A = this chain, B = another copy of it.
């Protein structure tokens, strides 16, 4: 039963180990589900599995949890667990039953999909936000897999508690409705981008949108590796690399992961940003289907 703390130091490599470890992990969490058990489990070895008091306000601040009663919030948190994961760990495999709503507190998580022998990035989730709300509500299998991109701390809210809660707390139900509607719209936007824009347009609009997200910065750092960005935008990294190069004729200059907008007017003309695809309420989506905002 030392695997939980081991997680933080060991770099699991083989597929077999991943699966084995994950099975143990879920089973143990489930065995410990009641609040009482959690506190009993609060030995040094299980230190990863209790919420720290200072984390609660950050969670409470999320749209999803902002409007519920304090009592409801505390009940939900009392049945939740925190867990730290090392970098590069697949914490969710698509197809598995969705037992928990996940909240990223530190680190970052890539949501990706597999199929037809391929794999693609669907979103990257940064603190503080939730993911796979829909699956946990429908009590259905995950449609996406998730892996940590760095050392990551996650809160796990049991799906049954979640479902019980929005029946008891109307304000929470309304929050869930709003969150789901926002997520839905976010994926629709992303489907529209895939169907309506070619790869050059997707890159250009992404770059300009990121600049606007950083308050119109002329220069910013890409929030994710180019490899991930390419996959998210539905292209190969070779193609992204070449596209970025050719965009130097249209107002963009790259310097490593740094984007410098040299001619905003030209870029704006090219990107053809669309209010319905690129904002403004696309920005609010926490976990719908997007990449995090860029750092300045």
The CA of A94 and the CA of B274, in the complex, are separated in Å by 11
| Interchain CB contact (< 8 A) of A113 among B95, B135, B138, B192 | B192
- Give the oligomeric copy count: 2
Point out the residues of chain B lying under 8 angstroms from A144, CB to CB: 188
Point out the residues of chain B lying under 8 angstroms from A166, CB to CB: 173-174, 177
Which label, helix, strand, loop or mixed, suits the secondary structure of the A interface? helix
Beyond A138-B281, A201-B116, whether A187 also contacts B191 by CB under 8 A is: yes
Inter-chain contact B113/A185, CB cutoff 8 Å: no
Inter-chain contact A95/B190, CB cutoff 8 Å: no
Inter-chain contact B185/A134, CB cutoff 8 Å: yes
Inter-chain contact A185/B140, CB cutoff 8 Å: yes
Which residues of chain A from 141 to 187 have a CB within 8 Å of any chain B CB?
141, 143-144, 166-167, 170, 173-174, 176-178, 180-185, 187
The CA of A118 and the CA of B143, in the complex, are separated in Å by 29
Interface residues on A, range: 35 or more
Inter-chain contact A143/B276, CB cutoff 8 Å: yes
Q: Select the residue from A138, A184, A198 with max chain B CB neighbours within 10 A.
A: A184
Nearest CB of B to A48, in Å: 29
Determine if A194 is an interface residue (Cβ-Cβ < 8 Å).
yes
Inter-chain contact A115/B274, CB cutoff 8 Å: yes
Which residues of chain A from 226 to 264 have a CB within 8 Å of any chain B CB?
234
Determine if A195 is an interface residue (Cβ-Cβ < 8 Å).
yes
Point out the residues of chain B lying under 8 angstroms from A76, CB to CB: none
Which residues of chain A from 82 to 118 have a CB within 8 Å of any chain B CB?
94-95, 113-116, 118
Nearest CB of B to A113, in Å: 5
Determine if A122 is an interface residue (Cβ-Cβ < 8 Å).
yes
**Closest residue of B by beta carbon distance from A118:** B196
Determine if A286 is an interface residue (Cβ-Cβ < 8 Å).
no
- In addition to A122-B192, A134-B188, 17 A-B residue pairs with Cβ atoms within 8 Å of each other are A95-B276, A115-B192, A116-B197, A118-B196, A122-B188, A134-B185, A135-B185, A137-B177, A138-B185, A141-B276, A143-B189, A166-B173, A167-B170, A167-B174, A183-B184, A184-B184, A191-B194
Q: Which residues of A contact B (CB under 8 A)?
A: 94-95, 113-116, 118-120, 122, 133-135, 137-138, 140-141, 143-144, 166-167, 170, 173-174, 176-178, 180-185, 187-192, 194-198, 201, 234, 272, 274-277, 281, 289
Chain A to chain B contacts (Cβ below 8 Å), 12 pairs: A116-B197, A118-B196, A122-B191, A138-B185, A140-B185, A166-B177, A176-B177, A187-B188, A190-B191, A191-B191, A191-B289, A194-B234
